Structure 1
Amino acid sequence: MSDDTYPDPADPISPAYAAMVRDLMRSLGGGAPWLLMEQSPSAVNWRARNAVKAPGQMRAWSHQAVARGADGILFFQWRQSAAGSEKFHSGMVPHGGTDTRVWREIEQLGAELRQLSGAEPGVEGSRVAASVAIALDWHSWWAVEQPASPTTVSYVETLFAWHRALTSLGVTVDFVRADADLSAYRVVVVPTHFVATDAQLESLAAFAEAGGTLVVGFGTAITDQDLHVRLGGYLGERLRQVLGVWIEEFAPPAAPDLRAAGGGAAPPVAFEGELLGGSVSGSVWSEFVRVDGAEVVATFTAGALAGWPTVTRRAAGEGSAWYVATLPEPAALRRLVEHVLRGAGVELPAPVTSGERVEVVRRGELTFVINHGADAAELRLDGTDVLTGSPAAGLVLGPQGVAIVRR
């Protein structure tokens, strides 16, 4: 498995989005190490405005790839072109030559990768353990975004919302097929799995009944593999039984001014639930959910949906099954996810640094700590930093700083 990836340095969400892509690359190979085949040393040349990578950012993002399973870091391009359509795309050796910031960072990264290659315990060939998975389905991606649908849904952004909520809690996430062997996971999240086969529905239902925690998002099992609608409340009989709900009607939020070009931006939907932090909002989707044996955790509070369930939970065999009929705002989704993980017995790691936007990933016997924030972060982690040989506890990471800790 290999990937060409070019996150935008100007977008503060890029590190979280890149983390999702790297987890996908690892997952596509069944957890085996993968290859970062292309990334840019600094700026690209094909956006309207091409931001350079901040000092240390290329190094930090490279170590993020290693942390999430990469066994090789490559670049496009070697020498920055002197002519042609990609002459302003950065290279390992810039137009300015080797007496440059970019080249010195390339040298530093190369030296650190050599250190990791010789470290004991080593990182090459090691795997990234995960007890949480997100079900990804390419057919659902294509189907949910086709025209003549109830509303506009970005499949990737929906997956990203769930992935970001999980990883913000320090949890590592695999991507899986819904009909794969799910027994290694404690929690499986199924966002917008629009197209579902009978085998996939059976696999998900059996996972919950065997003791797992299943979380199903809106727009799931609307059709079978031939895009024929599953009648009788959508979801399919097997999933309806496990979730204890069925869907009476879609009611996605409409634009406030339908005469506006493109229909305008859809308004948020309001709902409330103590578990999610009181009165909160959702986006993208909403629907009339009928409860048939499930507990209502949150309820829509406005418009035609007022009083109808938004989030439900049901005990299913040895496990449990949740249904979420909208896309909660980030803070509410994070609270929901944290509650689900704790209830499933997933151990949430204690914060290992001060500061915000610090990524922590364990691969094999090494813990990677990467500071994507604008402020310095101090480590609260016992062990030794492989890169410096210094004790990890008390080590201060500046913006784009990296520590790789042997516990």
Structure 2
Amino acid sequence: QAVAQGADAIMYFQWRQSRGGAEKFHSGMVPHAGVDTRVFREVSALGNELARVPELVGTRIRNRVALLSDWHSWWALELDSHPSDAVRHLDRAFDHYAALFDLGIGVDVVHPSADLSGYGLVVVPSLYLLSAEHGAKLSRFVADGGSIVVSFFSGIVDEHDRVHLGGYPGPLREALGMSVQEFWPADVGQTFALRTPGAAEPEAGTADLWREDVTLKGARTELEFVGPHWDGRPAATVHAYGAGTARYIATRPDAATMRTLLARACADAAVDPVLPDLPAGIQAAIRRGEGYDILILLNHTGSTHDIELPTARRDLLADDHRRTHRTTLAPRGVAVLGSLPTEHGDAGPLLETE
């Protein structure tokens, strides 16, 4: 998985499991029981597999979705004396990342200062601390044609942990076309019903953890709350800003609803999955080189899955590098499949064009 997502080296700590000291039960490539063990066999097998695919060296992942993360915002978000102590940085990041993973979308985790020009969609999960400079940068990204998804309790304070005045989410209000004046954190176990405005169905999912009182200033409501005192208030909004689109999520939707919202954002940004219609738990990633690419499939499930490939590829872990339109993934299994004309020793090119 590390290689599939861009790693150029696999480094283990530690080589041999220690006999004494505080870390004597820390894992090692050679366990206490020696080399005739599952762990050593699996590490050795990985080394042999990587050696079969020298073309991996120098290839790169080129994801079109970025998820913003900032240590300073993480620290500031989890300080005390906030409206809720249940909003945690990693939880919020995983809420968004998991939805994109399920959609088959590759994601880069980057700092707000990173170059965003190569991305179609930028996801901003509860980025509590956001400088005016970085807020303006995100707004320009949208105006220039990008798509962003911002979730609640973002853009609250500047880089000095001082509140942006004039309404939340501070420097992103204009691009998002909305404003927040009040936070309403949920009670433990409390949930909120959601619906699509104007839809025949009474509900379109649930949410929990947090609500915000959103005032529209150009945006339209994509999801709304249902229930006393909140009926019809925006829960998720979308705003056309310049050449791009900006979404805001004022609560924590259930997993299915989050997938729906992020799927719409991906569609707006013309971001497609690596392979469409994969079974749940199957991950696909492509590493690209000069004139070729390598597709890596990972089976995170305990079941066997047969995967149809849109074009023929070479199975680079097979002895004969056979050409195939289909691959079978054993439980927790891996496939490494090459494409595009590149010589691979006596086995022929990684892919023969149709």
What TM-score do the two structures reach when normalised by structure 1? 0.76
User: Hey, what does 1:326 align to over in structure 2?
Assistant: 251
User: Which of 90, 93, 100 is the equivalent residue of 1:166?
Assistant: 100
1:176 and 2:131 equivalent?
Answer: no
1:276-291 to structure 2, matched below 5 A, reads: 278-291=203-216
Q: Report how many aligned residue pairs link the two structures.
A: 328
User: Hey, what does 1:50 align to over in structure 2?
Assistant: none
CA contact (8 A) 1:196 1:222 kept: yes
Query: What secondary structure is seen at the aligned counterpart in 1 of 2:9?
Result: strand
Change (3 A) 1:328 1:81: same
User: Hey, what does 1:136 align to over in structure 2?
Assistant: 69
The structural deviation recorded for 1:244 is 1.2
User: Which of 370, 373, 380 is the equivalent residue of 2:308?
Assistant: 380
Q: Which amino acid aligns with 2:164?
A: R
Query: What secondary structure is seen at the aligned counterpart in 1 of 2:157?
Result: coil
1:159-238 to structure 2, matched below 5 A, reads: 159-236=93-170, 238=171
Normalized per residue, the structure richer in strand is 2
What TM-score do the two structures reach when normalised by structure 2? 0.87
User: Hey, what does 1:368 align to over in structure 2?
Assistant: 296
The structural deviation recorded for 1:352 is 6.7
Q: Which amino acid aligns with 1:163?
A: Y
Normalized per residue, the structure richer in helix is 1
Please list every run of 5 or more consecutive structure 2 residues that lacks an aligned counterpart in the other structure: 340-354
User: Hey, what does 1:35 align to over in structure 2?
Assistant: none
CA contact (8 A) 1:385 1:403 kept: yes
User: Hey, what does 2:57 align to over in structure 1?
Assistant: 124
Give % identity. 38
CA contact (8 A) 2:194 2:223 kept: yes
Distance (Å, rounded) in 1 between the aligned partners of 2:29 and 2:97: 32
Please list every run of 5 or more consecutive structure 1 residues that lacks an aligned counterpart in the other structure: 1-63, 255-264
Q: Which amino acid aligns with 1:195?
A: L
Distance (Å, rounded) in 1 between the aligned partners of 2:26 and 2:115: 43
Q: Which amino acid aligns with 1:390?
A: R
1:302 and 2:227 equivalent?
Answer: yes
Change (3 A) 1:349 1:79: closer
The structural deviation recorded for 1:328 is 1.1
User: Hey, what does 2:346 align to over in structure 1?
Assistant: none
Q: Which amino acid aligns with 2:221?
A: V
CA contact (8 A) 1:275 1:336 kept: no
Change (3 A) 1:168 1:150: same
Measured on the aligned residues, the alpha-carbon RMSD in Å equals 2.0
1:5-404 to structure 2, matched below 5 A, reads: 64-117=1-54, 122-152=55-85, 153-236=87-170, 238-254=171-187, 265-273=188-196, 278-351=203-276, 355-364=279-288, 365-381=293-309, 382-388=312-318, 389-404=321-336
Describe the superposition over 1:193-214 as per-residue Cα deviations: whole angstroms up to 9, x where unpaired. 1111111111011111111112
The structural deviation recorded for 1:326 is 0.9
The structural deviation recorded for 1:161 is 1.0
Describe the superposition over 1:144-181 as per-residue Cα deviations: whole angstroms up to 9, x where unpaired. 11111001211111011111111221211112232433
Q: Which amino acid aligns with 2:248?
A: Y
